[in-house]
Amino acid sequence: MTDSQNIVNLLKELVHIPSPSGFAHKAVAHVGQFLEKNGVDYTITNKGAIIGTIKGIDDSKHRMLTAHVDTLGAMVKEVKSSGRLSLSMIGGYYWNTVEGEYCTIHTSSGKEITGTVLMHETAGHVYKGMNELKRDEKHMEVRVDGVFTSKEDALKAGISVGDFVSFSPRFEETESGFIKSRHLDDKASVAILMQIIETIKQQKINLPYTTHFLISNNEEIGYGGNSSIPAETVEYLAVDMGAIGDGQATDEFTVSICAKDSSGPYHLGLRNQLVRLAEENGIEYKVDIYPYYSSDASAAIKAGYDIVHGLIGPGIDASHAFERTHIQSLLHTANLILAYLQSSMNREHA
């Protein structure tokens, strides 16, 4: 059994560390400090991902688990004559999901300047029909919290094209156990893996196989950290959000086990093993298909790795927008991972 409240505490810390893809170094460093604290050896790849390793009884066959610490975000595309900023997206989302959101511009000098993502035509008393305008790169901009009346004012303040822009998480834990925040994709899973690592070390659990924990930093733009999979790796389990919506089995209270996503089916034998472990340990789960989704595990398969791959995760509502899950989903996901890590490798056919 894992500590669900500690997962929430770890998650709260993580979501408040800005880490859009390409700018995740502070979040990676935070994970590194956590691994050091728990006595786990780790390496940082040339791409900036981090891999913690716990040796197992069998060192000839390895397992790898992954979650990604990078998030959706943006980059300054243009400093306008008004001193406001136009943006270029980082990751796949729709402009309407960040309209009205507070943000931070991370300048190249290290200075941080706040702002708000708005339609240029937001003023209802000025722009008739503004509600009918398309939310897109042309109409969306950042109203910067500075005394800027011109492009020159913004440039003098240190803002320039290419500066990263992060969105405020607005984290909240409700009395009923819901966790509301941006960036639950995939920091909820990172927090779960951190809790798992802490549990293994504190309870001195002997893992049957050497296990790597890859925290990738570029998943939202498609390539994760898969260039650094150790050659001994046989099984690869991605821990990422379960997508909720019409026609989906996944909910906010169970662990979601993915059977197939846009990349194709996940390994049947590993999926069956995860279902069996859930049933044997009283872990509530849903098996689901994610139609518009791919993971670091499927990216590894596409890269040509000869591995057994799987995907599980907590159910996340309103993915790539203002997300929500429940503490029970975090707990069931963590308990399934812990049961999996202590089980023998599956040898069922694909």
In a domain, 144, yes or no: yes
Tokens linked to 273: 């093993």
Tokens linked to 131: 């509600």
Q: What's the average model confidence in pLDDT over 316-327? A: 97
In this predicted structure, what is the pLDDT of residue 129? 82
Residues in contact with 5: Cβ distance below 8 Å, sequence separation at least 6, in sequence order:
327
Q: What's the average model confidence in pLDDT over 201-218? A: 97
Tokens linked to 284: 């509530």
Q: What is the CATH number of the domain that holds 103?
A: 2.40.30.40
Same domain, 257 and 112: no
Q: Is the peptide bond before 246 cis (omega within 30 degrees of 0)?
A: no
Q: Which domain holds residue 151?
A: 73-167
Same domain, 224 and 325: yes
Same domain, 67 and 202: yes
What's the pTM? 0.96
Ramachandran class of 137: left when φ > 0, alpha when ψ lies in -120 to 50, beta otherwise: alpha
In this predicted structure, what is the pLDDT of residue 1? 62
Q: How many domains does the chain have?
A: 2
In a domain, 259, yes or no: yes
Tens-digit pLDDT profile for residues 248-290: 999 999 999 999 999 999 999 999 999 999 999 999 999 999 9
Q: What are the start-end ranges of the H helices in the chain?
A: 4-15, 25-37, 151-156, 184-202, 268-280, 296-302, 327-341
Burial 66-76 (b: 16+ CB within 10 A, else e): bbbbbbbbbbb
In this predicted structure, what is the pLDDT of residue 123? 86
Q: Are strands 323-326 and 285-289 parallel, antiparallel or unpaired?
A: unpaired
Same domain, 214 and 298: yes
Same domain, 28 and 106: no
In a domain, 263, yes or no: yes
pLDDT higher than threshold 50 for residue 182: yes
From residue 170, how far is each of 25, 113, 225, 278, 298 by CA, in Å?
21, 17, 28, 32, 31
CA distance 68 to 182: 14
Same domain, 197 and 279: yes
Q: What is the CATH number of the domain that holds 190?
A: 3.40.630.10
Q: What's the average model confidence in pLDDT over 107-122? A: 95
219 is catalytic: yes
Sheet strand arrangement including 172-173: 172-173, 178-181, 323-326
Same domain, 222 and 284: yes
Same domain, 160 and 200: no
Same domain, 193 and 329: yes
Same domain, 223 and 331: yes
User: Which residue, of 139, 167, 195, is where some domain finishes?
Assistant: 167
Tens-digit pLDDT profile for residues 80-98: 999 999 999 999 999 999 9
Same domain, 198 and 57: yes
The conformation of residue 20, written as its DSSP 8-state character, comes to: B
Tens-digit pLDDT profile for residues 213-226: 999 999 999 877 67
CA distance 128 to 117: 20
Same domain, 34 and 152: no
In this predicted structure, what is the pLDDT of residue 350? 47
In this predicted structure, what is the pLDDT of residue 223? 78
Residue of 198, 219, 220, 323 marked catalytic: 219
